[in-house]
Structure 1
């Protein structure tokens, strides 16, 4: 399997100072970040899952943004997005998270020992508790000659506590994992109907000209990212209305979306969809066990994440 590559992709058609930090290929524990910088501050959207990857991210932010005041926005409380928060704030700064994500983010890194095997997490510490603040509704961050809108997603979608970040002048929307491209989404911690509502809300509220997804490449106008997500989530609800053979349905999903990475996630998503529409509480641990069974056991991140990041300015 090829080594993970980390590419800094400035958004050429966007206002200078809006940068997507795109990790490829989309893989377990490989997620995108990005930043918006102005004369008075810089907003970093998400960190990385390990100390080393976060140190490299912060180094690149500082290379472009200098010593401007740092605010880190955590889009949701999954470890590949927030594990490095304490690392990113070692030299100061503040962080924002949705209220439902606040406790997990403050508690520090999640390494999911029951799911992954890995030996190179590095030194990951929790952030200072008083450095992390909740975002309720809509908050505009004034960065001097730029702005960033940090907005809480209504209801439960990908998780119970999702945030998005919008740069209004360029129309760039950092979606977190509400949108992923080229990768099978993960729905076990959220709500399929709520996620569908959130996709409509994103399009109606922001009408974005550029999407920076939580996983996968940057999407420009005319991209089918929203449509592809919606088709998949609607299919999950449709097929689980009367069927409970999740293994069989997961095989069907793999055939319908053959290019998506990590197809073992389908079975957990189907279990979530069934629980959502039949008014049942999903046993998340059971869903994770089903995903791991489909993957052939615990997932070896040493194998997946091996290799030095390669940065390209385009």
Structure 2
């Protein structure tokens, strides 16, 4: 079993500050670093670190391209289907960390060149028990094609619609799993879920669109899944250092456990622990914990 992650590969340019600048204001920062990221690459690393055999499908450019590929390979991710382009930069994310949160500006760069030919080339090597994981940082046409191609091949599809962008209603019926946070839920359902009632309503809207399974990540409230009732998994209380890759780690951890046959709720519990460990460290991919660290943390946790 493999997880094919079709998505973005970025170099993060990160700086910290005591506060976010107002419009027209310059503030003093500190701790600048470059850090391999991108939702696709982060989720691929999270899947791999949690024990899943993971294939990255994406593109890099001339700026930072070799370094980004080498980093994925360092973590064990298969980069056979990562294309290199000489005429464009790799994707860039400019990240400001302040007030225990982050603000991000993205230039898609080579991520905009991920196309149906690259998807065909990768998915034709897949087996029926494999998974395909997508986000919203590559072109919409590529996402739509990948969802349909994956289902035609009998693969299990997982969509993380981040950042939230318009999707055709017809796209949702090709999603076996939809994993989204509160802001993304509001974008697609006009509900910002906090209560059990709101979770049920949002889940019902998405189910009517055709989604088979919907998971809601709810920040400090934990995460929730609906079948006949709402299943809540609490968030862990930890010292927050950097929240950059928390959502990506949750998704990668969930995918790895679900792909090996664990229940949805058990996979959510693992994912919640993995995300908690991530926010105790700086950075994106290097902050993502491995399976042994998550398992130890869970054994010591009261949740």
**Same structural fold, with TM-score higher than 0.5 when normalized by the shorter chain:** no
- Which of the pair is proportionally richer in helix? 2
Taking structure 1 as the reference length, what is the TM-score of the superposition? 0.30
Higher RCO (CA 8 Å, separation ≥ 6 residues): 1
Taking structure 2 as the reference length, what is the TM-score of the superposition? 0.31
